[in-house]
Amino acid sequence: MNIKKSILLRSRIAFLLVMIFALAIIYKVGHIQTVEGDQWSKIADQITFSNRIIKATRGNIYSDNGSLLATSLPFYRVGFDATRASEETFSEGLDSLALLLSRHFGDLSKESYKRKIKNARAEGRQYIILNRQMVGYQAKKKMENWPIFREGRLGGGIVFEKVDKRFRPFNNLSRRTIGFINENNRGAGLEYSFNDYLAGKDGQALYQKIAGGTWRPVLDGTEVKTENGYDIETTIDINLQDVSETALLRALEYHSADYGTVIVTEVATGEIKAISNLSRNDKGYYYERYNYAVGGLREPGSTFKLVTMLALLEETNISLEDSIDTGEGSYKFYNNIVRDHEAGGYGVITIREAFEKSSNVAMAKLVDKYFGLNPDRFLHYVDELRLSSPLGVQIKGEGMPKIKRPGDKDWSGITLPWMAYGYGLELTPLQTLSIYNAVANDGKLIRPFLVKKIRKADRIYEEFKPQVLNSSICSEETLARLREILEGVVERGTAMNIKNDHYPIAGKTGTAQVLENGRYTHKYLTSFAGYFPADNPKYSAIVLIKNPKGWRQYGSNVAAPVFKEIADNIFARDIGLHEEVQLADSDDGSFPVIRAGLYNELDMLCNELNIAQKPGNFDGWVRTSVENDTINWMGQEPNDKLVPDVKGMTLRDAIYLLESNGLRVRYRGSGRVTRQSAPPGASISKGAEIVIDLS
Quick one: pLDDT band at residue 344, thresholds 50, 70, 90?
confident
The DSSP bridge partners found for residue 664 are 689
DSSP 282-318: TTS-EE--S-HHHH--B--GGGGHHHHHHHHHHHS--
E strand or H helix that includes residue 466: none
E strand or H helix that includes residue 585: none
In this predicted structure, what is the pLDDT of residue 594?
67
pLDDT greater than 60 at residue 610: yes
Distance CA(563)–CA(512), nearest Å, equals 18
Q: How does pLDDT run across 382-433, given as a tens digit for each residue?
A: 999 999 999 999 999 999 999 999 999 999 999 999 999 999 999 999 999 9
H runs (alpha helix) in 30-109: 38-46, 87-105
Tell me which amino acid residue 575 is: I
Distance CA(174)–CA(108), nearest Å, equals 40
| CA-closest candidate to residue 447, choices 269, 297, 276 | 269
Beta-strand pair 539-546/259-266: antiparallel
Tally the C-alpha atoms within 13 A of residue 265's C-alpha that lie toward its C-beta: 34
Distance CA(130)–CA(134), nearest Å, equals 10
In this predicted structure, what is the pLDDT of residue 394?
94
- Mean pLDDT check: name the lowest of 28-32, 89-93, 488-492, 614-618: 28-32
Distance CA(596)–CA(256), nearest Å, equals 48
Q: How does pLDDT run across 290-332, given as a tens digit for each residue?
A: 999 999 999 999 999 999 999 999 999 999 999 999 999 899 9
Q: Is the pTM of this model over 0.85?
A: no
In this predicted structure, what is the pLDDT of residue 479?
96
Q: How does pLDDT run across 585-609, given as a tens digit for each residue?
A: 444 455 556 677 777 777 777 777 7
Question: Collapsing DSSP states into helix, strand and coil, what is residue 542?
Answer: strand
Quick one: pLDDT band at residue 154, thresholds 50, 70, 90?
confident
In this predicted structure, what is the pLDDT of residue 13?
45
Question: Collapsing DSSP states into helix, strand and coil, what is residue 440?
Answer: helix
The DSSP bridge partners found for residue 384 are none
User: In this predicted model, which residue has the larger pLDDT, 203 or 317?
Assistant: 317
Q: Which fold has domain 53-232?
A: Penicillin-binding protein 2a (Domain 2) (3.90.1310)
Question: For the chain, what is the mean pLDDT?
Answer: 85
Q: Which fold has domain 240-573?
A: Beta-lactamase (3.40.710)
Is the domain 596-694 a CATH 3.40.50.1000 member?
A: no
In this predicted structure, what is the pLDDT of residue 593?
62
Distance CA(161)–CA(502), nearest Å, equals 58
Residue 523, phi then psi, degrees to nearest 5 = -95, 150
Name, in order, each residue with C-beta under 8 angstroms of 506's C-beta and a sequence gap of 6 or more: 440, 483, 486, 487, 489, 490, 530, 531, 532, 534, 537
The DSSP bridge partners found for residue 265 are 272, 540
Domain ranges of the chain: 2-46, 53-232, 240-573, 596-694
How big is the chain by its Cα radius of gyration, in Å? 35
User: In this predicted model, which residue has the larger pLDDT, 550 or 294?
Assistant: 294
